[in-house]
Structure formats: structure tokens, C-alpha cells
Amino acid sequence: MEKHNGGERCENIYLPQVAVIKEIIEETRNIKRFILQYEDKSLHEEYKRDGQFFEITVFGVGEIAISIPYSPSRKDSFEFCIKKTGKVTNAIHNMKVGDKVGLRGPFGKGFPYEEFKKRDVLIIGSGVGLAPVRPMILRILENREEFGKVVIIGSALTYEDLIYKEDLISWSKVEDVEILYALNKPTSKVAAHAGYINDLLTDLELDWSNSSAIICASPRRIKAISKDLLKQGMKGTDIYTSLETHMRCGIGKCGHCKVGSKYMCVDGPVFNYEEMLELPPEF
């Protein structure tokens, strides 16, 4: 037991805390950004700012793991970018400002921020994959002097399918930060490569022997890009990704997210490329 607000509270990792939807932002035709705040605002003072995902509960419907896309410096609210893909996410998309959800977390192993310092950084987000990497981007830009050159590549089928469009434009104005786009279809909105992400790699002016990379895409695309990065001179241990699977409890007890010998919710979801290759071939 611990004291809390003049009483006692029994910590239960399975019990979600109630949060209120404060704002909803349409990112794309099937992705929305939700700004949430604990109903008990004092909980924000206790929040442990680490991990890689939260479990979000739609009461009476179910629970789903959603990546953390906000900076650890954010103190009084949470932000989640949610793609409509199934029962729970459909229910979240139908909610309105003022509605309530449950939050459990944060869980999981995040990106090794300290290991990226004093190095050039390449960050690639395909589709909604920009969400899991956004905390690292924000943290790096908040401490820009501690890093070398930064290249961020946003990829999607079309420009309209990209999330964080305004962020990408804003980040492009930061000194020594290069923003590139890889789209399946050309656009007049930004200068973009119409094709694969891999096509852009050979022209990047990075110190490949002193670079770290993050790739969030499908496992097949992650492996294809990683192979090309290895050809440029990067090490597999310097290439990271956040893998998605069906995480339930968040603490490695229920077994839903067990992949090979790994529990994705505690051993991951962040892995380097060499660790990823040790997982079953579907990853």
C-alpha cells in the first residue's frame, strides 16, 4: 500500500487509470491523434516517463497496445496516434472530446537514447511508423547540440497518408536536420521521391561508421532497408526498430506476445537489427 491524496491506494498493474479525451486531431483518413489527460491530474506528477507503449482501454469493448509518440518532457497530458484497424481502434475513433478511456503503462523497452549521442542519426517512419519514433525525434531536437547530422524520412502511399505533416515541415527548419519523403505517388505539396525508401540511402551524407538508425515499417521493409544500410557501412547493432505484436498484459505474464524466446512487451518492442534476426522469420 502507499499513501495517495490523503488515503491509501493498492497498486495494481492490471487496473487502468481513467483518462479524459481533451482533443482529437484528424491526421489522415484513418488515423487520429488523441490528446488525453488523467482524470486525477495528480497522477501526471507520478508518471514514469519511459517505456515504449501504453495499453488503452475502451470500457466495455477491449484494450489495445499503442506506441508512445510524445516527448518525455511533456508533463500534463498524453498523446497517441491511433490507426483504425479493428474493434477497439474503431471504437476509439468513434469517441468524442470529453469521453473517457483507461490507461495502463508505460510498458516495454524504449530506444537507447544515450547510445545515439555524438553520432549522426537516421530515422525512418513508414505510415503510422512515424509515431513510435517521434519521441526520439523530439528528444534529439530538444538537445540538438548533443548529436551530429539528423536525417528523417517519412514514407507513405501518398502525401495525404503521412502523419505529423506539420511536424515534418517544422523539423526541416532546424539547422542540420534534413527531411526527406518517399511516396508511392508524386505530390505537389512537398519535394518527394516517388519510390522506395532504399533509393534515398546512397545519397545521404552521413558518417556511416558513426551513425545510428531507427526504422519503423513492416518487418519485410525493415530487413530490406537494414541490408542496404549494412552495405553503407553501418553495424547491425546500430540499427533499431520497434516491432508490433498482440501485447496484452504488458508485463510478460499472459504469453500473448511471446515470439520465440522473447516476450515482446518486456524484452522489446525495441530491438536492434541483429536481435531482430534471432526472432522467428515472420519478424
**Residue-by-residue pLDDT tens, the chain, 283 positions:** 343 444 444 468 889 999 999 999 999 999 999 999 999 999 998 877 788 999 999 999 999 999 998 887 778 899 999 999 999 999 999 999 999 999 999 999 999 999 999 999 999 999 899 999 999 999 999 999 999 999 999 999 999 999 999 999 999 999 999 999 999 998 999 999 999 999 999 999 999 999 999 999 998 999 999 999 999 999 999 999 999 887 889 999 988 899 889 999 999 999 999 999 999 887 7
Q: Are 21 and 36 in contact (CB under 8 A)?
A: yes
What's the rounded Cα separation, in Å, for the pair 150 and 164? Answer: 17
Distances (CA, A) of 68 to 81, 107, 131: 8, 10, 7
Cβ density class 146-180: b for 16+ within 10 Å, e for less: ebbbbbbbbbbeebebbbbbebbeebeeeeebbbb
Cβ density class 53-86: b for 16+ within 10 Å, e for less: bbbbbbeeeebbbbbbbbbbeeeebbbbbbbbee
DSSP 8-state secondary structure symbol assigned to residue 16: P
**Residue position matching grid coordinates 534476426:** 277
Domains belonging to the chain, first-starting first, are: 2-107 (2.40.30.10), 113-277 (3.40.50.80)
| pLDDT tens for each residue of 17-48 | 999 999 999 999 999 999 999 999 999 988 77
What's the rounded Cα separation, in Å, for the pair 277 and 242? Answer: 13
